[in-house]
Each structure stands twice: as C-alpha cells, then as structure tokens.
Amino acid sequence: METVIDGREYVTIEEYVTLTSLSDKTVRRRIRDGSIGVWQPGGPGTRILIPVTSLPTRQPSSAQAAQPPVITTHDRKTSAAIPASRSRGRWRQKT
C-alpha cells in the first residue's frame, strides 16, 4: 500500500520540515547520515525529494496520555555537601 499526500508520493525538504516540526538543519543532517531516504530526480545537485513513507507515524493521543509523567525531586538532605574547606573562595579564607 502506497502512502500519498495530496496525490504525491514525495515532499520537498520545506514540506517535510512543516509536517514533522523538525528544523531544516536537522532534516538535512539526517539526509546526510542516511536516516531519511531521498530521491533526486535530476541526479546529484538537483532538488531533493523525500518519500512520504519516510514521514514518522503519529501515535494516537490516548497512548501518550497513558504514559505517566516523569517527576524528579531533589532532596537537600541526601545531596552531597560542599566541604567546609572549600565553602569560601581562597581569597576569603582566614589564615
């Protein structure tokens, strides 16, 4: 089964950026490292087209809501204390 957006099988980099909310630099970097496949109809040096099958699939919002949020806490009693010898700058230490 082919994926088609507005009757097209390929999108430009600008359209891909809009559809995925990734930055232009990130998309170009992923193209360079091969994680996003591309097609250049006129050969190297021509426009770059990305197949719509490379678009990430969206998860349903119910799956995102089912995951509990990650909560981190900071307990001052268990955190490492600064040694007394280093509590002041050397220039402020009494000799």
Q: What is the pTM of this model?
A: 0.55
Separation of alpha carbons 40 and 60, rounded Å = 33
Separation of alpha carbons 20 and 55, rounded Å = 7
pLDDT at 71: 47
Domain ranges of the chain: 1-44
Per-residue pLDDT of 39-75, as tens digits, reads 999 998 999 999 988 888 765 555 555 555 554 444 4
- Which of 85, 69, 67, 9 has the alpha carbon at shortest distance from 41? 9
